[in-house]
């Protein structure tokens, strides 16, 4: 399988009164066509910034973004419209990302009206197909977002994202604001759509059970950097970075005997403002030593399993 998305040394910095926020700081990432990469990490680590930068909702500070083999790091207006058709984003809270004054039908048809030369009848037909595809009842087409439940609102958001037949979708916490029973329906819908349409996903979540359900590969972020990357099975069976171990130990399991000992993280979270070189997790890491103040590259520790930790071999007895 070929890579649909390739990101090299991507950076997104924000200037603030207190200094420069290194929200995304030298991230490398590839996503194979048709696969789902799950992106996890705690609040503020840069997940949304990475997703938004990839789909060009904001300009990158540095680095390269390649999409389907083409360099798309810098785009003029025309190229941007073309790129928009291929790369879409779905947000956590469909309520705030859907225009409250538009009907379901208007919302779904808007990208077709603005970005294609389809005629009225064709747009009608396509929007009906989209509603079918995501499971929204036709009788709801004149409803407004506030008249729908959370699950249906997210279905509308998904239909709108699919309108232009994209290849790639960033899903930014698309089920986090939904009831657990509805979460499963929406996750299953996203997986069915992937199979039917050959979609490629970057799936952002802070919920380890959600990421386990949906991902092929998983990336763990910490303060703007990737600290562990591998396939789903390796990540859950054999997490190697101390931070990933702590994240996984916090998932409750039904089987009390199988519950790993919960690792409590101590120490303050470093700030993403003007970070020092060295491992950004060191202050909270139970294994930190002097060497951890040195810069730490993401390294292939086992085949296909990348970790950024100076002490990874000792800690895991590799």
Ligand X SMILES: Nc1ncnc2c1ncn2[C@@H]1O[C@H](COP(=O)(O)OP(=O)(O)OP(=O)(O)O)[C@@H](O)[C@H]1O
Convert 221-249 to b/e letters by CB count within 10 Å (16 or more is b). Answer: bbbbbbbbbbebebbbeebbbbbbbbbbe
- What would the 3-class secondary structure string for 167-228 be? CEEEEECCCCCCCHHHHHHHHHHHHHHHHHHCCEEEEECCCHHHHHHHCCEEEEEECCEEEE
Taking the C-alpha atoms of residue 281 and residue 279, their distance in angstroms, rounded to an integer, is 5
Question: By CB under 5 A, which span of 26-34, 41-49, 69-77, 246-254 interacts with Mg ion?
Answer: 41-49
Kindly tell me which of 172 and 240 has the beta carbon lying closer to Mg ion.
172
Region at 183 (left for phi over 0; alpha for psi -120 to 50; beta for the rest) = alpha
Which one of 48, 60, 97, 244 is in contact with Mg ion (CB under 5 A)? 48
**DSSP secondary-structure letter at 264?**
-
Pick what 317 binds: Mg ion, ligand X, none; C-beta below 5 to 8 Å, kind-dependent.
none
Q: Which of positions 195-224 make contact with ligand X (CB under 6 A)?
A: 206
14 touching ligand X, by CB under 6 A: yes
Q: Which of positions 47-76 make contact with ligand X (CB under 6 A)?
A: 47-49
96 touching ligand X, by CB under 6 A: no
Q: What strands, in cross-sheet order, belong to the sheet with 217-222? A: 87-90, 168-172, 200-204, 36-40, 217-222, 225-231, 305-307, 299-302
| Binding residue count for Mg ion, defined by CB under 5 A | 1
Taking the C-alpha atoms of residue 88 and residue 141, their distance in angstroms, rounded to an integer, is 22
Q: How far is the CB of 167 from Mg ion (least distance, A)?
A: 23
Q: How far is the CB of 169 from Mg ion (least distance, A)?
A: 16
Taking the C-alpha atoms of residue 45 and residue 66, their distance in angstroms, rounded to an integer, is 23
Q: How is residue 273 written in tokens?
A: 């403002």
Q: How far is the CB of 51 from ligand X (least distance, A)?
A: 8
Q: How far is the CB of 45 from ligand X (least distance, A)?
A: 4
Which one of 111, 174, 239, 272 is in contact with ligand X (CB under 6 A)? 272
60 touching Mg ion, by CB under 5 A: no
Nearest CA to 52 out of 3, 88, 18 is that of: 88
Burial of 29 (C-beta count, 10 Å sphere; 0-12/13-18/19+): buried
Q: How is residue 184 written in tokens?
A: 């499963």
CA Rg, the chain, in Å?
Answer: 21
Question: By CB under 5 A, which span of 30-38, 46-54, 155-163, 178-186 interacts with Mg ion?
Answer: 46-54
Question: By CB under 6 A, which span of 38-46, 72-80, 288-296, 303-311 interacts with ligand X?
Answer: 38-46
Question: By CB under 6 A, which span of 16-24, 104-112, 193-201, 309-317 interacts with ligand X?
Answer: 16-24
38 touching ligand X, by CB under 6 A: no
| Binding residue count for ligand X, defined by CB under 6 A | 14
Pick what 46 binds: Mg ion, ligand X, none; C-beta below 5 to 8 Å, kind-dependent.
ligand X
Kindly tell me which of 14 and 144 has the beta carbon lying closer to ligand X.
14
Which stretches of the chain bind Mg ion, using CB under 5 A? 48
Which stretches of the chain bind ligand X, using CB under 6 A? 14, 16, 21, 23, 41, 43-49, 206, 272
């Amino acid at each position: 399988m070929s890579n649909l998305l390739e990101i090299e040394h991507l950076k997104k910095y924000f200037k603030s009164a207190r200094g420069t926020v290194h929200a995304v700081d030298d991230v490398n990432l590839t996503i194979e066509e048709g696969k789902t990469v799950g992106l996890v990490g705690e609040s503020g680590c840069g997940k949304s910034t990475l997703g938004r930068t990839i789909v060009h909702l904001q300009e990158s500070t540095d680095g390269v973004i390649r999409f389907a083999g083409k360099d798309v790091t810098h785009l003029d207006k025309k190229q941007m419209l073309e790129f928009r058709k291929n790369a879409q984003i779905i947000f956590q809270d469909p309520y705030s990302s859907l225009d409250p004054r538009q009907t379901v039908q208007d919302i779904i048809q808007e990208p077709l009206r603005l970005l294609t030369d389809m005629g009225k009848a064709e747009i009608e037909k396509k929007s009906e197909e989209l509603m079918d595809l995501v499971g929204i009842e036709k009788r709801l087409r004149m409803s407004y977002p506030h008249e729908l439940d959370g699950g249906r609102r997210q279905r509308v958001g998904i239909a709108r994202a699919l309108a232009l037949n994209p290849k790639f979708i960033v899903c930014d916490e698309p089920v986090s604001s939904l009831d657990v029973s509805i979460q499963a329906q929406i996750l299953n819908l996203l997986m069915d759509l992937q199979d039917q349409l050959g979609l490629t996903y970057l799936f952002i979540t802070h919920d380890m059970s959600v990421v386990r359900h949906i991902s092929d590969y998983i990336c763990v972020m910490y303060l703007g950097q990737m600290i562990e990357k591998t396939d789903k099975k390796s990540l859950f069976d054999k997490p190697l970075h101390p931070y990933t171990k702590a994240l996984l130990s916090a998932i409750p399991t039904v089987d009390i005997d199988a519950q790993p000992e919960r690792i409590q993280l101590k120490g303050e979270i470093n700030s993403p403002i003007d970070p020092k070189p060295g491992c950004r997790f060191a202050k909270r890491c139970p294994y930190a030593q002097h060497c951890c103040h040195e810069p730490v590259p993401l390294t292939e520790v086992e085949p296909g399993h990348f970790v950024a930790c100076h002490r990874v071999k000792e800690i895991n007895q590799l």
